[in-house]
Amino acid sequence: MNTAIIYGTKHGSTHKCANTLANELGSNTKLYNLETETDVNLSEYDTIIIGGSIHAGAINKNVKKFINKNIDILTQKKVGLYLCCMYEGDKALEQFQNSFPEDLRNKANAHGLFGGEFDFEKMNFLEKAIVKKVANVEKSVSNLNYANIKAFAKTILS
Ligand SMILES: Cc1cc2nc3c(=O)[nH]c(=O)nc-3n(C[C@H](O)[C@H](O)[C@H](O)COP(=O)(O)O)c2cc1C
């Protein structure tokens, strides 16, 4: 099984999850960070995993653009979709639904909410101010959900 994990990240959480996922999936897994690699030959892969993160209610623009551009080929592949975000429960689910087109969500074999992190070392002044005000958080915190990443990998491999 050839697998591509294609993701967008701002402060590195979605990249961390892509790495962990790749380790779970095994050797034929290639990572593409859409910040630097936009040219992915999807025909080389049977399985495509797309990951993104939520900032101010929306998924990374590059991830959205990539999905819109490749929606036809994506619906013909085995697909997994995951999201990094700090909200949990229904709010996280709502963000997931708003992030990926309905057709792709319905077709996808695996859906993952992998949690998120606030990394104050990587935030700019405005981001720090927003996180302090909106989330009431003053220092870095990591809530990545490694159990969900493992479960997602198991579903993809089954
Ligand atoms: C300025 C800012 C805004 C954010 N807005 C949201 C949000 O609207 N909803 C949410 O669930 N998480 C939000 N988050 C949390 C991010 O989703 C979390 O930091 C995630 O781990 C980022 O992943 P990335 O580093 O791969 O981009 C926000 C984080 C920052 C710094």
CATH number of the domain where residue 54 is located: 3.40.50.360
Q: Is 96 in the pocket of ligand 1 (CB under 6 A)?
A: no
pLDDT above 90 for 150: yes
Query: ∠ at Cα 113 (109, 117), nearest 5°?
Result: 150
- Report the C-alpha gap between 154 and 22 in whole angstroms: 12
Backbone angles phi, psi at 20, to 5 degrees: -60, -45
Q: Is 62 in the pocket of ligand 1 (CB under 6 A)?
A: no
Give residue 1's pLDDT.
Answer: 78
Look at ligand 1, atom 30, and give the residue with the nearest C-alpha.
55
Q: Please report how many Cα atoms fall inside a 13 Å half-sphere around the Cα of residue 27, on the Cβ side.
A: 0
Compute, in angstroms, the gap from residue 92 CA to the centroid of ligand 1: 11
pLDDT above 90 for 39: no
pLDDT above 90 for 141: yes
Tokens 């294609």 -> residue: 6
Q: Is 34 in the pocket of ligand 1 (CB under 6 A)?
A: no
Q: Is the dihedral of CA 41, 82, 116, 92 positive or negative?
A: positive
User: Total domain count for the chain?
Assistant: 1
Q: Is 137 in the pocket of ligand 1 (CB under 6 A)?
A: no
CB 57 within 8 A of CB 91: no
pLDDT above 90 for 27: no
pLDDT tens-digit map of 52-98: 999 999 999 999 999 999 999 999 999 999 999 999 999 999 999 99
User: Which of 60, 70, 61, 132 lies closest to 103 in space, CA to CA?
Assistant: 70
pTM for this entry: 0.97
Domain that holds residue 108: 3-157
Look at ligand 1, atom 3, and give the residue with the nearest C-alpha.
55
Q: Please report how many Cα atoms fall inside a 13 Å half-sphere around the Cα of residue 97, on the Cβ side.
A: 6
Compute, in angstroms, the gap from residue 112 CA to the centroid of ligand 1: 16
pLDDT tens-digit map of 85-132: 999 999 999 999 999 999 999 999 999 999 999 999 999 999 999 999
Give residue 108's pLDDT.
Answer: 97
